[in-house]
Amino acid sequence: MEKHKDGSLLENKQFLKDLMVRMMTVNKFEESAFWLFGQGLVYGTMHLGVGEEATGIGTTAALTKEDYMLATHRGHGQAIGKGVDINSMMAEILARETGTNRGKGGSMHICDFDNGILGANGILGANGPIACGAALTIKLKNIPNRVCVAFFGDGSSNEGAIHEAMNLASVWNLPVMFVLINNTYGMSTPLNRVVKDTDLTKRAIPYGIKAYECDGNDVLAVYETVKEAREYVVAGNGPVLIVEHTYRISGHSKSDGNLYRSKEEIQYWKERGPIIRFKDFLLQNNIFTDDDIAAMDAEAEQIVQNAVEYAKAQPQPVVEDLEADVYAK
């Protein structure tokens, strides 16, 4: 792990514990969702972010509850970090009436306006322009200390909408944080086959935007980088681009046979996953004991088990409500 800029961070044991429990919760949530999918209880597809837990949790830990956020199609960790009710999110994944989107959105559309989650998006790159709209609201209403985060992936970084959004946010000086999760693959295609220069921070240069980057498997590095970048944005300096480097251990979606990469490559990254790394860091620095970590694991397990039980007991939407809430009025 990196040497942390803010030494006092390591004294805040509650904060460190929260980060760990949240990353474990994301991991167990996805494990359960995967299992429920196998039981035929999940409709549509689902994208898991095993190995990317530090990006969602570290980034959102640096945001306020009121900050806006647009999640990706791989956004379970982003939503959990931002504070969505986990029971309602699991109910949504099982398409239940009490889900975050009343059972009509599913894994790829989790919304929770009370926690600033403006939605997740299956259309790659679409988060950029939507974030510009939310940030324009912040600007026109003179709302202090508020940003809008647009998450997107390395593959999505080639979408025209992202480039148009970065240009617009820059020229209008909008408080957008473009957070690029570089997991090095877009479906089965490695980054170096779709771009000649894999240094994605350079995407900020033509738009005059300040770029940051961090080890996206180091949750404290992610947190500190996003915190610093957020301070820059709320000071009125305009948008930023943050590139978080990580690795997707899970397949792209439910139908991925992992034929485009070797078992050795996946194993290499499993051993360097964000939860294992944070655990080793906490133990080596004598911040927590093995028993403490086991208690955190049990706490996360309970949160997810409760969510599964809750969701399974919830009613399914009724056919009479099919058209309700589908179109904006």
* Interaction site with ligand TPP (CB under 6 A): 72-74, 122-124, 153-156, 183, 185-187, 248, 252
Q: Please report, in angstroms and rounded to a whole number, the separation of the first and last CA atoms in the chain.
A: 49
Q: Cα–Cα distance between 52 and 126 in angstroms, integer?
A: 21
- CA distances, 301 to each of 96, 202, 271, 272 (Å): 22, 40, 21, 22
- Classify residue 121 by its DSSP letter: -
173: left (phi over 0), alpha (psi -120 to 50) or beta: left
By a kind-dependent CB cut-off of 5 to 8 A, residue 28 interacts, out of Mg ion, ligand TPP, none, with none
Interacting span for Mg ion (CB under 5 A) from 22-30, 140-148, 155-163, 239-247:
155-163
Q: Label the pairing between strands 189-190 and 185-186.
A: antiparallel
Output the residue with the shortest Cβ distance to ligand TPP.
153
Give the nearer residue to ligand TPP in terms of CB position, either 106 or 175: 106
The number of beta carbons lying within 10 Å of the beta carbon of residue 210 is: 16
If you search the block for the tokens 């030494």, which residue do you land on?
7
- Interface with Mg ion includes 55 (CB under 5 A)? no
DSSP code string of 197-214? ---GGGGGGGGT-EEEEE
Question: What's the min distance (Å) between Cβ of 47 and ligand TPP?
Answer: 6
> Nearest 5°: phi and psi at 78?
-65, -40
Only segment of 19-27, 36-44, 183-191, 316-324 that touches Mg ion (CB under 5 A): 183-191
Cβ–Cβ < 8 Å for 61, 81: yes
Residue nearer to ligand TPP on the CB measure, 81 or 153: 153
Q: How far is the CB of 269 from Mg ion (least distance, A)?
A: 13
Name the minimum Å distance from CB 253 to Mg ion.
12
C-alpha closest to that of 77 among 24, 141, 10, 137: 24
For Mg ion, the binding residue among 87, 115, 183, 314 (CB under 5 A) is 183
Task: Determine how β-strand 176-182 pairs with β-strand 185-186.
Answer: unpaired
Task: Compute the least distance from the CB of residue 236 to ligand TPP, in Å.
Answer: 30
**Amino acid of residue 150:** A
- Rounded Cα distance between 310 and 313, Å, is 5
Instruction: Select 51 or 99, whichever has its Cβ closest to ligand TPP.
Output: 51
Residue 76 or 279: which CB sits closer to ligand TPP? 76
Supply the Cα-derived Rg of the chain in whole angstroms.
Answer: 19
Answer with the entry of ligand TPP, Mg ion, none that 124 interacts with (C-beta below 5 to 8 A by kind). ligand TPP
Binding residue (CB under 5 A) for Mg ion from 49, 106, 153, 216: 153
Q: Which of residues 184-243 bind Mg ion (CB under 5 A)?
A: 186
Please say which residue, 102 or 245, places its beta carbon nearer to ligand TPP.
245
What's the min distance (Å) between Cβ of 226 and ligand TPP?
18
Nearer of residues 88 and 250 to ligand TPP, judged by Cβ: 250
Tokens matching residue 18: 């929260």
Kindly tell me which residue out of 67, 92, 112, 154 binds Mg ion, with binding defined by CB under 5 A.
154
Closest distance of CB 172 from ligand TPP, Å:
24
Residue 123 or 235: the one with the smaller Cβ distance to ligand TPP is 123
283's tokens: 């133990």
Structure tokens at 225: 């980088």
Could you tell me the two tokens for 119? 């939605």
Min separation Cβ 227 and ligand TPP, Å: 23
In the complex, least distance from residue 102 CB atom to ligand TPP, rounded to whole angstroms? 23
Where do contacts with Mg ion occur on this chain (CB under 5 A)?
153-155, 183, 186
